[in-house]
Amino acid sequence: MLNLVLFGPPGAGKGTQSENLIRKYNLVHLSTGDLLRSQIAAGTELGLRAKQLMDQGLLVPDEVVIGMIENKLKDNQSAAGFIFDGFPRTVPQAQALDSLLDQHGTKITVMVALIVDSEELTKRLLIRGRTSGRPDDQNEDLIRRRVKEYNDKTTPVADYYSQQGKFVAIDGIGSIENIFESICAKIDESVEE
């Protein structure tokens, strides 16, 4: 099984690269941001609570996203592998993911981090906001808060995987195709190990 964590701040290109990776490696895409947005669209209580935090650029509680991932792993028992996009975002989420995967007899293969500086992220997200319809992409203050939340809470997740020898960093600035090729090369290396 190939289980990939695609890591990087909002606007790093995780969603775009996920689409290509899913096709190439036949993976099930698990994006906690997408799962939360569908809860909001469905008007569930979880969605309403999550929206209040998402509208402020803050993370939703660990147990909420862990519960969603737990359900999705159960629903996709015959998957060839998973791509985790936007999850885990805290060390407790990473620990919970390890134990959930362990229960399914599998583990994370590699974490690939897309490195993009804050100015470029802000630029990209404001452009995305014109077409994505996402309210959190349309306000510069909110974008900066999301990047800060990432730097404060999510960066330690890279150390968590680094300690397990599973962390690789890739320059996230360049053409989509070149970045995709670099990611694939790293994945293929990890699978061979």
For the chain, give the number of residues: 193
Residue number, nearest CB to ligand AMP: 33
Smallest distance, ligand AMP to C-beta of residue 189, A? 26
H/E segment holding residue 103: helix 91-103
> Is residue 40 a contact partner of residue 58, using CB atoms and an 8 Å limit?
no
Nearest CA among 101, 122, 124 for reference residue 5:
101
* Catalytic pick among 37, 51, 134, 145: 134
> Considering the rule CB under 6 A, would residue 39 count as an interface residue with ligand AMP?
no
Q: By CB under 6 A, which span of 22-30, 83-91, 106-114, 166-174 interacts with ligand AMP?
A: 83-91
6 forms beta bridges with 85, 112
Site for ligand AMP in 123-152 (CB under 6 A): 146
> Considering the rule CB under 6 A, would residue 68 count as an interface residue with ligand AMP?
no
CB neighbours (10 Å) of residue 44? 12
Q: By CB under 6 A, which span of 30-38, 101-109, 115-123, 180-188 interacts with ligand AMP?
A: 30-38
> Is residue 79 a contact partner of residue 2, using CB atoms and an 8 Å limit?
no
> Considering the rule CB under 6 A, would residue 53 count as an interface residue with ligand AMP?
yes
Residue 128 falls in the annotated catalytic set: yes
Residues annotated catalytic, as ranges: 14, 89, 128, 134, 146
